[in-house]
């Protein structure tokens, strides 16, 4: 125990520590209030051999983290309602079995099944080749095992739980990034939050990118579901998204041979600097919301992939520092961020699980309060065509 926290080290690469199985509960710690338990287990068999899961159960809320896959959030549930999606990738694929350069740079898709996966940090967008540099889909963060993992539990009520992981992205004569990720839950609440700190440990300034690729399927996603946010503008990501501009807010049911449609959006912020985007089912009785400061994550990407159930019926609400174009496009548009030597960037994202109409209505009211009176600008062409380099 350090200070006011109970601290448990589950992984420490430098010290050679990695606990395959571990658990703790509020009862074991002698804590009162909303009961909770946290457990780590290591998976076996197939391409998930060696993958690890950390499951946090706190009152009505359960969240599962994958420390071997970039501290991604695999699933979350509230009141028995599960939030995530049914990917064709059923195993929690260990990064040692991933080949990101395969499939023309789309190898990342062979492990993709998370509720939230980080895209970054050296790059985050679609595959591209620039000189002798090959960019694979969505970068390496989501397939980087954490070099350190610890659980912190506040001794004082309400006993905030934080699962922290260190992601390291380093290469000789190139990148030298370290990111401390933190997922926090306060027992009794119906939300969880991320706070990440990216630091450039190198001696040279380096560009960085980050997208919080947040993915929702059934039961929220369905025919008639809507995305609600304080939209300022919406643009098709590419030509494939143009046919869907007339219905960009709403969703069809599973549609065979649906070609994904992606939209590059800008959202307004409230007086506190934060914005929110929510996916709500047709009846307005279930929803999932993403809340974050616009100054930290100025872009919002809406990914619609309403293919068949088996092929992956899912949509993505994706706040980021940039859009998922390749780095040369983002650089030309002036959206590519840079960290000076020793510099750091912080990102905070909160996820709200809405399991009844009252919770949905309250979320939509908060969004309505920061929504501009004028309709969003709808760009007929992608941003990279409509804006000068």
The per-residue pLDDT for range 101-114, each reduced to its tens digit, is 999 999 999 999 99
Percent of the chain clearing pLDDT 90 (strictly above)? 96
Q: What b-and-e string marks burial along 365-388, b requiring 16 or more CB atoms within 10 Å of the CB?
A: ebbeebbeeeebeebeebbbeeee
Residue 389 pLDDT grade (very low, low, confident, very high; cuts 50, 70, 90): very low
- What contacts 24+ positions apart, CB below 8 Å, involve 97-105? 97/47, 97/49, 98/143, 100/136, 100/137, 100/140, 100/143, 101/134, 101/136, 105/134, 105/135, 105/136, 105/137
Q: Is residue 379 within 8 Å of residue 245, measured between CB atoms?
A: no
Classify 59 in phi/psi space as left (phi over 0), alpha (psi -120 to 50) or beta.
left
User: Looking at residue 1, what is its pLDDT?
Assistant: 43
Class of domain 5-386 (CATH, top level): mainly beta
User: Looking at residue 270, what is its pLDDT?
Assistant: 98
C-alpha span between 201 and 338 (Å, rounded): 13
C-alpha span between 115 and 220 (Å, rounded): 13
C-alpha span between 262 and 302 (Å, rounded): 6
Tell me the sheet residues that pair with 166.
Answer: 148, 180
> Has residue 386 got a pLDDT over 50?
no
Q: Compute φ and ψ for 359, nearest 5 degrees.
A: -65, -40
**Distance in Å from the first CA to the final CA of the chain:** 53
Q: What is the mean pLDDT of residues 57-66?
A: 98
C-alpha span between 227 and 316 (Å, rounded): 10
Residue 332 pLDDT grade (very low, low, confident, very high; cuts 50, 70, 90): very high
C-alpha span between 162 and 182 (Å, rounded): 6
Q: Is residue 212 within 8 Å of residue 301, measured between CB atoms?
A: no
C-alpha span between 260 and 263 (Å, rounded): 10
C-alpha dist (Å) from residue 247 to 263, 300, 324: 12, 18, 22
C-alpha span between 316 and 304 (Å, rounded): 6
Q: What angle do CA 271, 274, 279 make, to 5 degrees?
A: 125
Residue 279 pLDDT grade (very low, low, confident, very high; cuts 50, 70, 90): very high
User: Looking at residue 14, what is its pLDDT?
Assistant: 97
C-alpha span between 198 and 277 (Å, rounded): 24
The per-residue pLDDT for range 4-50, each reduced to its tens digit, is 899 999 999 999 999 999 999 999 999 999 999 999 999 999 999 99
Query: How many helical (H) and strand (E) elements, i.e. helices and strands, does the chain have?
Result: 6, 26
User: Looking at residue 3, what is its pLDDT?
Assistant: 56
C-alpha span between 153 and 29 (Å, rounded): 10
The per-residue pLDDT for range 216-255, each reduced to its tens digit, is 999 999 999 999 999 999 999 999 999 999 999 999 999 9
Q: Is residue 327 within 8 Å of residue 288, measured between CB atoms?
A: no
Name which of 212, 208, 180 is nearest 339 in CA terms. Answer: 208
C-alpha span between 140 and 134 (Å, rounded): 13
């Amino acid at each position: 125990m350090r200070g006011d926290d109970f601290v448990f080290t589950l992984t420490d690469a430098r010290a050679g520590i990695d606990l395959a199985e571990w658990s703790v509960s509020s009862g074991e710690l002698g804590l009162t209030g909303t009961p909770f338990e946290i457990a780590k287990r290591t998976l076996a068999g197939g391409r998930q051999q060696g993958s690890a899961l950390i499951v946090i159960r706190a009152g009505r809320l359960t969240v599962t983290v994958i420390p071997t896959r970039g501290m991604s959030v695999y699933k979350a549930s509230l009141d028995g309602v599960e939030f995530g999606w049914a990917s064709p990738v059923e195993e929690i694929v260990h990064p040692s079995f991933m080949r990101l350069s395969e499939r023309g740079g789309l190898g990342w898709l062979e492990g993709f099944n998370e509720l939230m996966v980080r895209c970054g940090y050296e790059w985050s967008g679609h595959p591209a080749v620039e000189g002798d540099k090959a960019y694979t889909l969505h970068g390496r963060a989501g397939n980087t095992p954490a070099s350190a993992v610890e659980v912190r539990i506040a001794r004082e009520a309400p006993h905030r739980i934080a699962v922290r992981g260190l992601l390291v992205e380093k290469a000789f004569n190139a990148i030298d990034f370290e990111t401390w990720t933190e997922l926090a839950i306060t027992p009794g609440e119906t939300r969880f939050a991320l706070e990440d700190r990216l630091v450039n440990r190198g001696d040279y300034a380096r560009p960085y990118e980050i997208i919080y690729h947040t993915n929702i399927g059934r039961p929220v996603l369905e025919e008639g579901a809507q995305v609600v946010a304080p939209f300022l503008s919406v643009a098709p990501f590419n030509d494939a998204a143009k046919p869907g501009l007339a219905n960009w807010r709403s969703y069809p049911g599973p549609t065979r041979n649906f070609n994904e449609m992606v939209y590059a959006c800008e959202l307004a912020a409230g007086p506190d600097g934060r914005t929110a985007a929510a996916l709500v089912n047709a009846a307005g009785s279930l929803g999932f919301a993403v809340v974050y400061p616009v100054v930290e994550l100025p872009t919002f990407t809406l990914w619609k992939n309403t293919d068949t159930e088996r092929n992956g019926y899912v949509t993505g609400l994706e706040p980021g520092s940039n859009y998922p174009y390749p780095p040369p496009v983002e650089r030309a548009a002036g959206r590519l961020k840079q960290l000076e030597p020793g510099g750091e960037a912080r990102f905070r994202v909160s996820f709200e699980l809405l399991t009844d109409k009252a919770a949905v209505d309250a979320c939509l009211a908060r969004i309505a309060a920061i929504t501009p009176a004028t309709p969003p600008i709808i760009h007929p062409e992608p941003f990279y065509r409509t804006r000068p380099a």
